[in-house]
Amino acid sequence: MAESSDRDLVNQTLQGDLEAYGDLVREYQSSVFSVCYRVLGNRRDAEDLTQDTFLRAYHHLDSFDMERPFGPWVRTVAANLCYNHLNQSRLPSMPLLDEHDIPKGGGGKTPEAWLIKNERQERIYQALWQLPPHHRVAIELRHFQDLTYQEMADELGIPLNTVRSHLYRARNKLAELLRKYEGT
Amino acid sequence: MKEHNTPETLLEDDHLQENILHAYLDGELTAMEIKTVENHLETCNRCQVRLQELQSTFTALDELPDLALDVDLATPVLRSLKAERDVIPALPWITAAQAAAAVVLLALTLPILLTLPLFQSMKISLINWGSVLQVNILNMTAGLQAQIQGLQTFFEQMLNAYSRFSVPDFHFIPLWILFLAAALLGILGNTLLLRRELNL
Per-residue model confidence as pLDDT tens digits over A9-47: 999 999 999 999 999 999 999 999 999 999 998 889 999
Note whether B63 contacts A29, CB cutoff 8 Å. no
Question: B144 to chain A nearest CA, in Å?
Answer: 51
How far is B78 from chain A, CA to nearest CA, in Å?
Answer: 7
The angle at the Cα of A142, spanning A141 to A146, to the nearest 5 degrees, equals 90
Predicted confidence at residue A146, as pLDDT, reads: 93
Query: Are B146 and B166 found together in one domain?
Result: yes
> Is there a contact between A175 and B80 if contact means CB atoms under 8 Å apart?
no
For residues B54 and B94, state if they share a domain.
Answer: no
Which residue does chain B place closest to A140, by CA atoms?
B61
**A60-74, A160-174, B41-55, B174-188: range with lowest mean pLDDT:** B174-188
Across residues A155-159, what is the average pLDDT? 91
Instruction: Identify whether the C-beta of residue B26 lies closer than 8 Å to the C-beta of residue B35.
Output: no
Handedness of CA A161, B17, B7, B48 (dihedral sign): negative
Judgement on whether residues B83 and B152 belong to the same structural domain of the protein: yes
Q: Do A164 and B62 touch (CB under 8 A)?
A: no
Rounded to 10 degrees, the C-alpha dihedral B86/B90/B94/B99 comes to: 110
* Whether B28 and A22 lie within 8 Å, measured CB to CB: no
The residue among B62, B83, B106 that closes a domain is B62
Residue B94 has pLDDT above 80, yes or no: no
- Confidence class for position B36, pLDDT limits 50, 70, 90: very high
What are chain A's domains? 1-92 (1.10.1740.10), 94-184 (1.10.10.10)
How many structural domains comprise chain B? 2
Strand-pair partners of B16: B11
In a domain, B28, yes or no: yes
ipTM of the complex: 0.80
Given this model, what pLDDT does residue B169 score?
Answer: 55
User: Does residue B68 form part of some domain?
Assistant: no
- Name chain B contacts of A20, Cβ cutoff 8 Å: none
For the residues of chain A, what is the DSSP string, one character each?
---HHHHHHHHHHHTT-HHHHHHHHHHHHHHHHHHHHHHH-SHHHHHHHHHHHHHHHHHTGGGS-TTS-HHHHHHHHHHHHHHHHHHHHTPPPPPPPPGGGPPPPSSSSSTTTTT--SHHHHHHHHHHHHS-HHHHHHHIIIIIS---HHHHHHHHT--HHHHHHHHHHHHHHHHHHHHHHTT-
Whether residues B26 and A142 touch (CB distance < 8 A) is answered with yes
The bridge status of strand B15-16 relative to strand B11-12 is: antiparallel
Q: pLDDT tens-digit profile of B79-89?
A: 999 888 776 55
Are B78 and A22 a contacting pair at CB < 8 A? yes
CA A146 – CA A73 distance, rounded (Å): 11
Identify whether residues B56 and B102 lie together within a single domain.
no
Q: What is the pLDDT of residue B163?
A: 66
Quote the distance between the C-alpha of residue B51 and its chain's center.
49
- Which chain A residues are closer than 8 Å to B81 by Cβ? 18, 21, 55, 58
Q: What is the per-residue pLDDT for A153?
A: 94
A31 and B66: CB-CB below 8 Å? yes
Residue B168: its pLDDT value, please?
Answer: 54
Residue B140, Cβ neighbours under 10 Å: how many?
8
- Let me know whether B30 and B78 are in one domain: no
Question: Which of A30, A117, A160 is the closest to B2 by Cβ?
Answer: A160
The model's pLDDT over B150-181, given as tens digits with 9 standing for 90+, comes to 778 877 777 777 666 655 555 556 666 777 77
Give the model's pLDDT for residue B115.
72
Point out the residue among A26, A58, A125 whose CB comes nearest to the CB of B64: A125
Which chain B residues touch A26 with a CB distance below 8 Å? 72, 74
Contact status, residue A138 vs residue A152, Cβ threshold 8 Å: yes
Q: Tell me if B67 is assigned to some domain.
A: no
The closest of A36, A141, A21, A30 to A82, measured between CA atoms, is A36
Any bridge partners for residue B11, and if so which? B16
Which has the minimum average pLDDT: A82-86, A125-129, B54-58, B142-146?
B142-146
Are B179 and B92 found together in one domain?
Answer: yes
Domain that holds residue B106: 74-197
Burial of A38 (C-beta count, 10 Å sphere; 0-12/13-18/19+): buried
User: Are B32 and B83 within one domain?
Assistant: no
Q: Are residues B35 and B94 in the same domain?
A: no
Question: What is the C-alpha separation between A6 and A69, in angstroms, rounded?
Answer: 8
Query: Are both B17 and B80 inside the same structural domain?
Result: no
The size of the A-B interface in CB pairs under 8 A is 100
Is B18 found in the same domain as B58?
yes
Smallest Cβ–Cβ distance between A38 and the set B62, B64, B71 belongs to B64
Evaluated on CA atoms A29, A34, A40, A44, the torsion sign reads positive
Same domain, B51 and B78: no
Closest CA relative to residue A138, chosen from A109, A111, A169: A169
Query: How distant is the Cα of B98 from the closest Cα of chain A, in angstroms?
Result: 28
- B69/A175 CB distance under 8 A: no
B92 with B182, same domain: the answer is: yes
From the list B19, B63, B65, the residue facing A164 with the nearest CB is B19
Instruction: Report the DSSP beta bridge partners of residue B15.
Output: B12
